Amino acid sequence: MVKTAKLALEDGTILIGEGFGAETIKTGEIVFSTSMAGYVAALTDPSFKGQILMSTYPLEGNYGVSKDWYQSEDIKAEAYIVRQVCDEPCHPKSEQSLSEFLMDNDVPGISGIDTRALTIKIREVGSMKAAVANTDIADEELLKIVAEQPGIEDMYLVDKITTKEPKYITDKKDYNIAVLDCGVKKNILTNLIYDDVGVVVMPADSTAQEVIDMDVDGVLVSSGPGNPENVDKIQDTIRELSVKMPIAGICLGQQIIALAFGAKIYKMKFGHRGSNQPVKDLKTGQVYITSQNHSFSIDPESIEGTDLEITQINLNDGTPEAIVHKELPISCIQYHPEAGPGPHDTREFFDKFVEAIKNNKA
């Protein structure tokens, strides 16, 4: 029996669809992703904590779910919106259907939604607070739930997903990196290990001395969800460590580092999410196709007067995609070098970071 589900938006819109996954009600900021594949990786990406994810690609679930594709231990998105869901996946690695995956993680899904029209709406008015209900509830009550939830800019989400204590991913090596876990993805750690470095994941609120006590040679501030201004403790840690060792940042990590050195951040209208964002290097002229997932961006005008420099921009809207410090070994990018939307893409970011560490110790 097909169960009816509802999607409610803060502007009063109620959309009716078919429910799948868990029979529950979840709230969050509704956002869309333009990727044509990778729904398992997206749903388990910690950067989607606090958000309801919608796929613009019309069919999801056709290749099922495998733990090999997880980017964290479980689903981090609050709910999932699709045009059509496939209940009979076909893939040799598939372990369960998309609906079963959501059900196991207490996450509601809704299908039968005109995702093209809804994407256009979000692009016009911006991301909104929303709720998905896979259980009986009156429209007025659901809209009240939507209205009463806090905006994502007011939520401190990193604390909900960061590791609670240092966790060694590898044994000690000749060169070692501490990852400040704001919502690190598995593929980020995999790419660091590929460069034959030791990796320890640490809580996002670790002090500089706690990082130094781990006897590491560099620090990576990871990607993650929410407003970077709410992750303020890490800024002091970054400033203190920046004169001692190389520092790198990915996505939220770039925004936090920018704040630490005097730049400002603003919330974007609907953000960047997908695997086809063009980025231009201002020094070489090279253009990369990148995977992205963020709601906030650096205000480029606020870079003036700081020791930071913008080195890459997004060719769609001109937003900063990479920054460096003019004097210290600090480099950051807004996109995800670990995501690999094509054959090689931008994983050289990891190589350059490790090279900076080696040069610093030479």
- Alpha carbon of 79 to those of 23, 39, 44, 51, 297: distances in Å? 11, 12, 11, 7, 24
Cβ neighbourhood burial of 362 (10 Å; 0-12, 13-18, 19+): exposed
Alpha helices in 95-185 (DSSP H): 98-104, 115-125, 139-148, 158-161
**Active site (catalytic) residues:** 251, 336, 338
Q: Which of 24-38, 136-150, 250-264, 341-355 has the lowest average pLDDT?
A: 341-355
The per-residue pLDDT for range 5-54, each reduced to its tens digit, is 999 999 999 999 999 999 999 999 999 999 999 999 999 999 999 999 99
Q: Are the C-beta atoms of residues 296 and 308 closer than 8 Å to each other?
A: no
For the domain made up of 158-361, give the CATH fold.
Rossmann fold (3.40.50)
Binned at pLDDT 50, 70 and 90, residue 362 comes out as confident
Q: Report, as an integer, the average pLDDT of 291-315.
A: 97
Distance CA(186)–CA(41), nearest Å, equals 10
Q: Is the pLDDT of residue 345 over 80?
A: no
Q: Which of 58-67, 172-181, 340-349 has the lowest average pLDDT?
A: 340-349
Q: Is the pLDDT of residue 268 over 80?
A: yes
- Alpha carbon of 353 to those of 12, 191, 212, 232, 245: distances in Å? 47, 11, 18, 24, 11
Distance CA(7)–CA(201), nearest Å, equals 37
pLDDT at 347: 85
Amino acid 76 reads K
Question: What is the model's pTM?
Answer: 0.95
CATH number of 4-149: 3.50.30.20
pLDDT at 339: 81
Q: At which residue do the structure tokens 């509704």 appear?
A: 30
Q: Report, as an integer, the average pLDDT of 59-76.
A: 97
Closest by alpha carbon to 10, among 133, 156, 148, 136? 148
Ordered by start, the domain boundaries in the chain are 4-149, 158-361
pLDDT at 356: 96
Alpha helices in 134-224 (DSSP H): 139-148, 158-161, 186-194, 208-212
The per-residue pLDDT for range 101-159, each reduced to its tens digit, is 999 999 999 999 999 999 999 999 999 999 999 999 999 999 999 999 999 999 999 99
SS3 (DSSP) at 32? strand
H or E stretch including 108? strand 108-111
Q: Is the pLDDT of residue 219 over 80?
A: yes
Distance CA(84)–CA(64), nearest Å, equals 14
pLDDT at 344: 64
Does 4-149 match 158-361 in CATH topology?
A: no
Closest by alpha carbon to 148, among 120, 167, 129? 129
Name 164's Cβ contacts closer than 8 Å, sequence gap at least 6.
203
pLDDT at 343: 58
Closest by alpha carbon to 177, among 162, 192, 161? 192
Q: Is the pLDDT of residue 1 over 60?
A: no
Looking at every residue in the chain, the average pLDDT score rounds to: 96
pLDDT > 70 fraction of the chain, expressed in percent and rounded? 98
